[in-house]
Structure 1
Amino acid sequence: MKLALLGGGGFRVPLVHEALLGQQGDLIDDLWLFDTEADRLEVIRNVLVQARGSRPGPTIHTSTDLAESVRGADFVFSAIRVGGLPGRVHDERAALGLGVLGQETTGPAGIAFALRTGPVALRIARTVAEEAPGAFVINFTNPAGIITELMQTVLGNRVIGICDTPSGLGKRVGALYGADEFELSLDYVGLNHLGWLRHAWYRGRDLVAEVLDDPGKLSHLEEADVFSIEWMQRLGALPNEYLYYWYSTREAIASILSADATRGEFLQAQQARFYEQAKAHPERAFQLWTAAHDEREATYMAEARDEGEERPDTSGGGYERVALALMRAIALNERAEMILNVRNGHTLAALPDNGVIEVPCLVDGAGAHPLATEPPGGAELGLMMQMKAVEQLAIRAVLEDDRGLAFEALAKHPLVDSVNVAEQLTEDFWPQG
C-alpha cells in the first residue's frame, strides 16, 4: 500500500515513521514525503534513514510534486503548515497586540490559520480527488476541525480529522487505576480542542466519576496543573487541556505576554537552528532532531503551568499513533472505537449535519462512523454551537473568497470581545494578493 505524507519535510514526520516501523504486518510498502521545500525534505529523509538503521520498513520517496506524491495512494496524511512558523508568529503577535488571545488553534489566531491554510487544503483535496479517488485522507493539519470540514466539501466522509489529546486524556485516566487503555470505552464530546471527557468505562466502572471523587488521584493528572480540582469537580467532566484558553483567558494572555517569546517564536528559532545544523551536518541529523524534539515536548503549553514546573508525563501515544491505528482499522477492516473529527450527521441535533465534531466513532473498512452520544450540558453545548457557527463562517470565507465573511467570523468569535478589534484582525489576517 502507498501512504503519501503531505508536509513531509515537517519536524514531526519522524514520529510517524517510527510508528510505521512499529506496525505489525508491513502495511505500507511505499512512503511518499511531499513538501514544497526540497532542503527540508532532504533533512527529514536523513533523520528517517538514521533512525531506522537496519530495521525493515517502507521504501521512502521524496517529492515536491503534489500530484506525483498522491497518485494512486491508499492513504494520504495531511500535516501541512501554510506560511510556516513565521505565519504562526504573525498570527500570535497580531492578536496579542490587540489584547486578545494569540494561540495557534484557539481564538482569533486559529481563524487566521484556517483562512491562510484553507485554499491550499482545497487544492490538495481536489488533487486527491483526481489522482487517488479511493484514498482516505487523515487530516492532522490545524485547526483540525475546520480544515477537515473544508476538505470534506470535496471528498466527503473520506476525510477524517485526528487529534491525540482526547485519547491521551483517557489513557492517563486509565493509568491511574492500572487499566489497559484498550479496555476503556471513552465518552467524549466536543469540537477539536474544545471538548470534555465525561466517562471512561472500564469493567463496569466509570473511572472519570471515580477520579473526580478522589482529589488525591485527580491531582496526579496533567489537567490538575491547568485547571483547579474544584473546577473540574464542578464541571463533572475532565476538560480538554485547550479549554485552559477558554476558562482562564485573561491569565493565558498575561502569561504569554510575560514570556520572552510566544510559542511560535520559540519554535521558529528552535527549528531554524535544527534544519540549519542538520543540513550542515547530515550525518548527525537524527541526533540533532532528538535533542530538539525533547526540548519541544518539555516546553509544551508552558503558559498554563507555574514557572519552573516541569511538564508531567502526558503520554497518550501522540497523533501519529492515532493516525496509524485509524489507517490500520480501515485498511484491514478491523473494527475499532476511536475519538475522531467526523461529520456530525444526526449525532448532535443542535449542530449542523455537515459540521465536523469530535466524538467516539466506530471505524471499519468503510471509514469512521460517529456513535450515538448524549449532548453536553447547556453551557458546553452553547459554546460548541457558537464556535461551530464561527468555524462555518470561516469555511464560507475561504470557499467564497469573501473578506466580509472572515470579518463576521472574527466578530462573532467568543474570544474576540469587540467588533472594532475584529475589523483590525481581519485587516491583519485576510490573505493579501
Structure 2
Amino acid sequence: MRLTILGGGGFRVPLVYRALLADRGEGRVTRVVLHDVDAGRLAAIGRVLAEQAADVPDAPAVTATTDLDEALRGADFVFSAIRVGGLAGRAADERVALAEGVLGQETVGAGGVAYGLRTVPVAVDIARRVAGLAPDAWVINFTNPAGLVTEAMSRVLGDRVIGICDSPLGLGRRVARVLGVDPAEAWIDYVGLNHLGWLRGLRVGGRDVLPRLLADGDALGSFEEGKLFGAEWLRSLGAVPNEYLHYYYFNRETVRAYREAERTRGAYLRDQQAGFYARAARPEVRALDTWRRTLAEREATYMAANRAASGDTGGRAEEDLEPGGYEQVALALMRAVARDERATLVLNVRNGATLPVLDADAVVEVPCLVDANGAHPVAVAPLPYHAVGLVTAVKAVEREVLTAAESGSREAAVKAFALHPLVDSVTVARRLLDAYRAEHPGLDYLA
C-alpha cells in the first residue's frame, strides 16, 4: 500500500513513519512518498527516516519529490499536513493579531481566520488534483485549521476526505488515566468542531464515570485540562472542554500572557525548527538524535502561555510529554479503511444529521465508526445552548472563509474576521485584513 505525505518535509513526519514501522499487519504501508515544496526540508527529514529504519527489517521504502502530481499518482492514501506560509507565516499571524489586542493563535481567532484564508485555496487545488490523479485514494487531512480545511476539500472529494486531530484522543486518555480506566475500553462522548469540542462523558460498560471525576476536586486538579480551566468551571460545565477552549473561556488572560511572552508560540517554533533543519543538514550530525531532542523541547513548551495565564507554573506532567498521538489516529484510520478493521475514532467528517443545529455538509468533530466504506458519525446527544452558540458562530466564520476563498471577496473576508467571537469590532476586522494582506502575498486574491 502506498502512502503519500504532503508536507513531507514537516517536522512531525517522523512520528507518522515511526507508527508505520511498528505496523507489521497484512496490507500495511510498504511505500511512502514524501512531497514538499522545500527540497532542503525533504532531505533533512529523509535523513531522520533513514536512521529510524536502519535496524527495521522490511521498513516501508521512502522516496521524496517536489512534484505534486508525481507524488499523487498511484497513492492509496494521501496524508495532508501542509503549512502554507510556513512557521514565518504563523509568527506573522500572531504578531498582527496581538498588535490589535486580539488572539492570533493558528487555528483560533484572527490568526485562524488568516491561516484559513491562505490555506483553503491551496487545499482545494490539492483536492482537485487528487480527484484527477488518484480518484480512489482516501485523503487524511491534518492541515490546520483542520475542520475548515477538511470541509473545503470535501466539496471536491466528498466523504473520501477525513480530518484528524490528536486533541480529543489526548483528552480522552488523560481523563481515563485519572479515573483508572483503560482508554481502549472506554467510549468517549465527545462532540463539537475541531479545537472547539467537549468531552461530556466517559462510558465504561455502559456506565458514565465522568461524574465521579467532576465530584473529586483533587482528581480534577491533577491533569492538564483541570489545571487550565479549574475545578469550579469544569463542574459548572458538567464536561471537560478541549484545551483550545481556554482561548475562549479565558481570553483576556491568554491575550495578556501572549503579549507579555518573550516570543509567541509561532516565533518560538520558527526559530527552533530553523535550528533543527540547519543542524540536520550537516553530514556529521545524527539527524534522528537531533530530531528527538528538538521534539522533547517542543512538547515541553506546548501551550506554555495558557498554563501561565491559568497560574500553572509547574510545567507539563511527564506522561503528557509523549506526542499527542495523531499518528496513531492516522494509522488506525488507514487500517480500518484498508483492511476493514472496524474502529471507533473521533474524527472530522461531514455532519449529516448528527448535529441538527448544523447542515448536512458542515464538518464536525464527533465519534465515528470506521470501516472499509469510510467514517460514519454516530448519533450524539444535543449540544447545550452555551455550546450551540459557540459552535454555530464559529461555523458561520468558517463559511465566510470558504466564500472568500472561492470568490475572492474582501467583504466576505472582513465578515469572517468580524463574526468571530474573539474579534470585538468590525473596524478591527478591517484593519486585521489589511495588515494580513500586507504580510502575506498569498492573500492578494482578496480584492
Encode CA deviations 1:89-123: one digit per residue, 9 max, x unaligned: 11100000001012111111001001111111011
Paired position in structure 2 for 1:346: 353
Paired position in structure 2 for 1:116: 118
Selected match of 1:292 from 262, 269, 294 = 294
Paired position in structure 1 for 2:31: 30
Letter in 1 for 2:344: E
Paired position in structure 2 for 1:321: 328
Q: Secondary structure at the match of 1:330?
A: helix
Paired position in structure 1 for 2:134: 132
Paired position in structure 2 for 1:81: 83
Letter in 1 for 2:294: A
Shift of residue 23 of structure 1?
1.3
Give the distance between the partners of 1:79 and 1:9, measured in 2 at CA: 10
Encode CA deviations 1:9-47: one digit per residue, 9 max, x unaligned: 000000000011111316001100000011110100000
Paired position in structure 2 for 1:19: 19
Letter in 2 for 1:139: N
Give the distance between the partners of 1:316 and 1:11, measured in 2 at CA: 12
Give the distance between the partners of 2:154 and 2:85, measured in 1 at CA: 22
- Aligned residues, how many? 433
Within a 5 Å distance, the mapping from 1:15-414 to structure 2 comes to 15-25=15-25, 27-56=28-57, 57-281=59-283, 283-306=285-308, 308-312=313-317, 313-314=319-320, 315=322, 317-414=324-421
Q: Secondary structure at the match of 2:316?
A: coil
Paired position in structure 1 for 2:440: none
Paired position in structure 1 for 2:435: 428
Give the distance between the partners of 1:143 and 1:342, measured in 2 at CA: 14
8 Å Cα contact 1:330/1:367 also seen in 2: yes
Shift of residue 308 of structure 1?
4.1
8 Å Cα contact 2:16/2:327 also seen in 1: yes
Give the distance between the partners of 2:336 and 2:88, measured in 1 at CA: 37
Letter in 1 for 2:330: A
Give the distance between the partners of 2:278 and 2:332, measured in 1 at CA: 33
8 Å Cα contact 2:221/2:230 also seen in 1: no
After TM superposition, which residue ranges in structure 1, 4 or more long, deviate above 6 angstroms? none
Q: Secondary structure at the match of 1:280?
A: coil
Shift of residue 282 of structure 1?
5.5
8 Å Cα contact 1:208/1:238 also seen in 2: no
- TM-score of the superposition, structure 1-length normalised? 0.98
Q: Secondary structure at the match of 1:226?
A: helix
- TM-score of the superposition, structure 2-length normalised? 0.95
Give the distance between the partners of 1:361 and 1:184, measured in 2 at CA: 14
Letter in 1 for 2:386: A
Give the distance between the partners of 2:161 and 2:398, measured in 1 at CA: 17
Encode CA deviations 1:284-335: one digit per residue, 9 max, x unaligned: 1111111111000000000111374211232575111111111111111111
Question: Once structures 1 and 2 are overlaid, which stretch shifts more, 278-287 or 45-54?
Answer: 278-287
Question: Once structures 1 and 2 are overlaid, which stretch shifts more, 222-231 or 299-308?
Answer: 299-308
Encode CA deviations 1:108-148: one digit per residue, 9 max, x unaligned: 10010011111110111011001110111000000000000
8 Å Cα contact 2:279/2:285 also seen in 1: no
Q: Secondary structure at the match of 2:286?
A: helix
Letter in 1 for 2:434: E
Give the distance between the partners of 1:206 and 1:212, measured in 2 at CA: 12
8 Å Cα contact 2:167/2:324 also seen in 1: no
Relative distance call for 1:260 and 1:316 in structure 2 (3 A) is closer
Letter in 2 for 1:365: A
Paired position in structure 2 for 1:8: 8
Question: Once structures 1 and 2 are overlaid, which stretch shifts more, 399-408 or 385-394?
Answer: 399-408
Unaligned runs of 5+ in 1: none
Letter in 1 for 2:17: H
Give the distance between the partners of 1:12 and 1:377, measured in 2 at CA: 36
Shift of residue 345 of structure 1?
1.0
8 Å Cα contact 2:2/2:74 also seen in 1: yes
Letter in 2 for 1:309: G
Give the distance between the partners of 2:131 and 2:282, measured in 1 at CA: 39
Unaligned runs of 5+ in 2: 438-442
Q: Secondary structure at the match of 1:134?
A: coil
Q: Secondary structure at the match of 2:200?
A: strand
Q: Secondary structure at the match of 1:309?
A: coil
Give the distance between the partners of 1:399 and 1:332, measured in 2 at CA: 36
Give the distance between the partners of 1:427 and 1:361, measured in 2 at CA: 40
Relative distance call for 1:282 and 1:32 in structure 2 (3 A) is farther
Q: Secondary structure at the match of 1:200?
A: strand
Give the distance between the partners of 1:351 and 1:297, measured in 2 at CA: 35
8 Å Cα contact 2:179/2:213 also seen in 1: no
Question: Root-mean-square deviation (CA), in Å?
Answer: 1.2
Identity %: 52
